[in-house]
Amino acid sequence: MICALIMAGGQGTRFWPLSTEEKPKQFLNLIGSKTMIQMTVDRIKHIIPMDKIFVCTGERYVDLVKTQLPNLPKRNIIIEPEGRNTAPCIALSAFYIERYYKDAKMVVLPSDHLIKNEQKFREILLDCEEYLDKNIKSIITLGMKPNRPETGYGYIKFSDETDIINKSEIIRVDKFVEKPNFEKAKEYLKEKKYLWNGGMFIWTVNNILEQFAKYIPETYEALKGISKVDEIDIQREINKNYKNTCPISVDYGILEKAEEIYVIPSDIGWDDIGTWKSIERYREKDYQDNIVSGDVKVIESKSNMAINNTNKKVIMIGMEDTMTVETEEAIFIVNKNYMDNLRDYKAIL
């Protein structure tokens, strides 16, 4: 039995001004007709029923989750009192899920990634479930083969110790590596012993809680009361103790220390939709290489992106290599060379 945790508490600052603190990127339809969190749920609901899908988010986003995922049980929305990085989020959610599904496997997914080969992705998750039936102390992560020297992702170096489960190759992890500079990223690409770290993990709930008790005991101690209180008191227990957790990533806190870590090389058409340039890779373009969203008319212009979230019209004439974002607050007209640094100007606007 697999339960899914979707982490949806981020503020999506890299997509400002479209993504705001009130409505961050996981709740926006950045690359299709559905929002990022809706796409995440859609790709797993074929193998994980809605009553076993959990979303961890902040209080201010609960109504957005309910609106965009109307079939998600209210019970399955886990509320973080504050953002404290991925380790506290995962520990909180593991204790929470354990209340309802004590022997579950738990797949952890970001809410804002793209996976084009969804069928292959689901097959890999089912292979992980089968592997964990006999290897309950294992932690499995999905790694993607690099096709460019990417400096925006973390990497996983894998060893030569390999196992096979159905169609999936499971390889023992040598180490996790920080986001590299460009020269180091080129070395990783050449060595062919590194995979991109997609931030997706699967383990048994019991095992990950044991790992927290061993490697981040202050977080375990702060949250273990979730298992003991009555259901009506769960949120009060969380609110009282969450501030006592260690604000650290699960990569630093556990994955770099745990012994039974494995990676499955996953050719699933994955991308971390984390920059405006990543939007360019996947949004439909017209014959002049323009991307438009909303009420936009483009005339004698090429290689532009125009996003209009208002009732006004946006008309572009004779433009090239620009991004225009119109919101109710302002109109942003940006040379594309600046678009991924747009948030840096937020403080002075």
**In CATH, what number is assigned to the domain containing residue 92?**
3.90.550.10
Computed over every residue of the chain, the mean pLDDT equals 93
Q: Let me know whether 7 and 119 are in one domain.
A: yes
Q: Let me know whether 289 and 270 are in one domain.
A: no
181-206 burial, b for 16+ CB within 10 Å, e for fewer? eeebbeebbeeeebbbbbbbbbbbbb
- The total of structural domains in the chain comes to 2
Q: Let me know whether 138 and 79 are in one domain.
A: yes
Exposed/middle/buried for residue 285 (C-beta within 10 Å: 0-12, 13-18, 19+): middle
For 149-165, what is the mean pLDDT?
A: 93
- Report in angstroms the alpha-carbon separations of 174 from 106, 155, 157: 23, 11, 5
pLDDT at 269 over 70: yes
Q: Let me know whether 325 and 192 are in one domain.
A: no
Q: Let me know whether 268 and 297 are in one domain.
A: no
Can you tell me the distance from the alpha carbon of 345 to that of 341, in angstroms, rounded to the nearest whole number?
8
Q: Let me know whether 297 and 189 are in one domain.
A: no
Tell me the Cα Rg of the chain: 21
% of the chain exceeding 90 in pLDDT: 79
Nearest to 33 by CA among 260, 284, 223: 284
Q: Let me know whether 302 and 257 are in one domain.
A: no
How confident is residue 134, by pLDDT bands cut at 50, 70 and 90?
very high
Q: Let me know whether 122 and 219 are in one domain.
A: yes
pTM above threshold 0.75 = yes
- Do strands 270-272 and 113-115 pair parallel, antiparallel, or not at all (unpaired)? antiparallel
Among candidate residues 276, 293, 322, the one where a domain is terminated: 276
For 316-320, what is the mean pLDDT?
A: 96
Q: Let me know whether 44 and 95 are in one domain.
A: yes
pLDDT at 346 over 80: no
pLDDT at 13 over 90: no
Among candidate residues 241, 276, 311, the one where a domain is terminated: 276
Q: Let me know whether 6 and 29 are in one domain.
A: yes
Q: Let me know whether 118 and 252 are in one domain.
A: yes
Among candidate residues 223, 254, 276, the one where a domain is terminated: 276
Can you tell me the distance from the alpha carbon of 120 to that of 108, in angstroms, rounded to the nearest whole number?
17
pLDDT at 349 over 80: no
Q: Let me know whether 338 and 246 are in one domain.
A: no
pLDDT of residue 27: 94
What dihedral angle (degrees, nearest 10) is formed by the CA atoms of 23, 24, 30, 32?
-60
- Domain hosting 314: range is 284-348
